[in-house]
Chain A
Amino acid sequence: MSAALSMQDAPPILEVEALTMRFGGLVAVDAVSFTARRGDITALIGPNGAGKTTVFNCITGFYRPSDGALRLHAADGVAELHRLKDHRIARAGVARTFQNIRLFPGMTALENLLVAQTVPLQAKTGFGIVALLGLGAYRKAEAAAVARAVAWLRATNLLDRADDPAGALPYGAQRRLEIARAMCTAPSLLCLDEPAAGLNPRESDELARLLRAIRDGTAAEGEPAVSVLLIEHDMGIVMTISDHVVVLDHGRKIAEGPPAVVRNDRTVIAAYLGEGDDD
């Protein structure tokens, strides 16, 4: 599914319904609803403190929402994310990256990508005994895992750094490796928390290309298309790659639509320029 085919009536991948998050007396997110569609790159934008990261942390299970529902329409059925624990959410098909990169710095790039495949690999280990003895079935599974890792290292242009510790990679490479690691969990939805932060213009362009390729399923050999949800400050990248933009301000949704529409929305401009009912 390419961007051109993405229309309002494409099936949803993620439904956010009246999501509310309260911290003590503070309402960080107030009844936000939106839908991310299959085959889209959906961007969540808004000024600082708008509640983007909170929404994001609810979707990825790091916070449990105070109210509302989150439904992931994965290939194998609908998962009610608001009822799941964080590692269950990841297993249901939501992969994420972090604003302050969280790799396993002392492990190699390749090892990082194999850790991402722990859950399916574990199932093949036969309570550890088969793998402990190094028997065939597990070896085959591990070879497949390595092959997938290599495919994503190639896709993120990191193949020559495969055996270097993740902590020794340059910043931009670490960002790409984190995306590769998220993709190795074979997600239905890839959630990115400010993926372009700290990248130079050339790296930002590469990132945009990579994200489009992930959406279209052309990033790595044998890998399916994956829908993307991202938070981003860099308006340039948001406007060029997003299919759909959701704008938050003060914990509420103030606008939603294709980039061209949102860009000219008066409430959005007001929110970004700090006008209106400011405190």
Chain B
Amino acid sequence: MSAFSQGGAGGRITAALRDATIAAAVAFGLFVVMVGLRTDVSPTGALVLRERWTEVAMLCALVFAGRLVVTLWGLRPQSLGQSPERAAAMARAGKLFAPLLLAAALVLPFVPGIGRYELDLGILVLTYVMLGWGLNIVVGLAGLLDLGYVAFYAVGAYSYALLAQYFGLSFWICLPLAGILAAFWGILLGFPVLRLRGDYLAIVTLAFGEIIRIVLLNWVSLTGGPNGMSGIPRPTFFGLPFNMSGEPGTFAGFFGIEPDPVHRVVFLYYLILGLALLTNWVTIRIRRQPIGRAWEALREDEIACRALGINVRNTKLTAFALGAMFGGFAGAFFATRQGFISPESFTFIESAIILAIVVLGGMGSQVGVAVAAIVMIGGFELFRDLEEWRMLVFGAAMVVIMVLRPRGLVGSRTPTIALGEKRAIGAGHVSEGRG
């Protein structure tokens, strides 16, 4: 898209320059106060101003240059998504890409040069992949906009922590319980609100997420309030604890190997990989079932569903509950991995990040969600040296990616059944849901 039309090149550049000047002027207005004058709290407690005009000038120059580049090289948003041909090509690539990704995930702990840090990052990414896949059931398939998904993550984490603390139950008993409890909360919260639509549902789920967090924060006698809960039991290898003593009853002792702290990390890595793959497997299977098709039909047209005898409320509830259940599993995993949880881990921003992963991945696409999680969480980690700047970059990335690719990475949809060959359906036809 870099070629200019010969005649209009000069005019285009002039127009671009004018455009960039306006942008720089706006930038000056935006930054002159907020950047140019920094408030600091002086030792006496009063506020003093520090002037930073150089920074303002630099920012304006940056905006000028950026705007110029964008206008001249035309980074235009793709508003209508992909053509069917392109969607089909993407789907074919996806078919190859998914097994490769899976293979890479499976062998990662044994790749030379992969140390503890990389594994920890892998665990973090996989946790978000799993959360993304769980939320994808609700948002991507059923078309229900849930901005409080983190609530179920919190329910799972606190369920495990509380059950372990008060009843001494092991991780392997608590994991299903955490999922069931989260699903139960999903039904409880979903029951009254699922007839709401679109943004209203989004805001109510957001409110529920916040209510749960505030309750966790203030119910100090049960949850420890802002101090959180510590000493959550770490997972065992089916009863064999990981510790450094090397005694017969431990993982290292049982298998007769040298005790190594990496064992537990590798185990946690495979645990979350397994949980994520379980989520994926269930989603893929359930899409081909009547209930899965009903979810997608609901996303496409709720009124038509009612005319076909589908119980809309129950269908929505199953999606909500199943999504919540996987959130609960992920929460229990999070608690056992950290050994410590506090309400701070379950803020609205987490919900927003998970939703962003789903939407960015292209709603309904399993591979897309996985790639989006890797890009967002991995990318976030890459910018760790930027410290406080990285959330800024993260938010800006969300805006830019949405503007450039409103349908996400994979906007097409694969049919669940076909008489002939399954062909991907271009994004133009697929609805986004109104619930």
Contacts and interface: CB of A to CB of B under 8 A. Distances in A.
A and B touch in the complex (CB under 8 A): yes
A200 to B, nearest CB: 24
A83 to B, nearest CB: 16
A15 to B, nearest CB: 21
Interface string B392-435: 00000000000000000000010111111111011011110000
Given A102-B304, A105-B429, A91 B291 contact: no
A122 B293 contact: no
Nearest to A178: B304
Given A91-B309, A131-B289, A132-B282, A114 B304 contact: no
Interface string A76-97: 0000000000111011000110
A107 B300 contact: yes
B429 A181 contact: no
B290 interface: yes
A150 B417 CA distance: 13
Interface string B264-300: 0000000000000000001001100111011011001
Contacts of A121: 290
A128 B318 CA distance: 11
A125 B318 CA distance: 14
B425 A90 contact: no
Interface in B1-52: none
Contacts of B430: 105-106, 165
Given A107-B415, A165-B425, A181-B308, A102 B303 contact: yes
Contacts of A104: 296-297, 300-301, 304, 431
B307 A86 contact: yes
Name, among A87, A103, A114, the residue most crowded by chain B CB atoms within 10 Å (CB to CB): A87
B83 interface: no
A162 interface: yes
Nearest to B307: A96
Name, among B296, B311, B423, B430, the residue most crowded by chain A CB atoms within 10 Å (CB to CB): B311
Contacts of B310: 87, 90, 115, 118-119
A201 to B, nearest CB: 28
Given A90-B308, A128-B286, A115 B415 contact: no
B61 interface: no
A105 B301 CA distance: 9
B312 interface: yes
B431 A125 contact: no
Contacts of A131: 285, 289-290
Contacts of B428: 167
A98 B425 contact: no
Nearest to B304: A102
B422 A163 contact: yes
Interface in A216-239: none
A146 B289 contact: no
Contact of A110 (B301, B305, B308, B417): B417
B306 interface: yes
Contact of B297 (A107, A110, A163, A167): A107
A227 B278 CA distance: 47
B425 A108 contact: yes
A117 B289 CA distance: 11
A182 B304 CA distance: 10
Interface string B83-110: 0000000000000000000000000000
Contacts of B286: 128, 132
A105 B304 contact: no
A222 to B, nearest CB: 18
A146 B417 contact: yes
A30 interface: no
A110 B421 CA distance: 13
Given A87-B310, A91-B309, A110 B293 contact: no
A151 to B, nearest CB: 13
A115 B294 contact: yes
Nearest to B301: A102
A144 interface: no
13 contacts: A103-B301, A105-B300, A106-B429, A107-B425, A111-B296, A115-B310, A118-B291, A118-B297, A118-B310, A122-B294, A166-B429, A167-B428, A185-B309
Interface of A: 60-62, 86-88, 90-91, 95-96, 98, 102-108, 110-111, 114-119, 121-122, 125, 128, 131-132, 134, 146, 150, 162-163, 165-168, 181-182, 185
Given A87-B310, A106-B296, A182-B307, 10 more contacts: A90-B306, A96-B307, A106-B429, A107-B425, A111-B416, A115-B294, A162-B420, A163-B419, A167-B429, A168-B429
Interface of B: 282, 285-286, 289-291, 293-294, 296-297, 300-301, 303-312, 413, 415-423, 425-426, 428-431
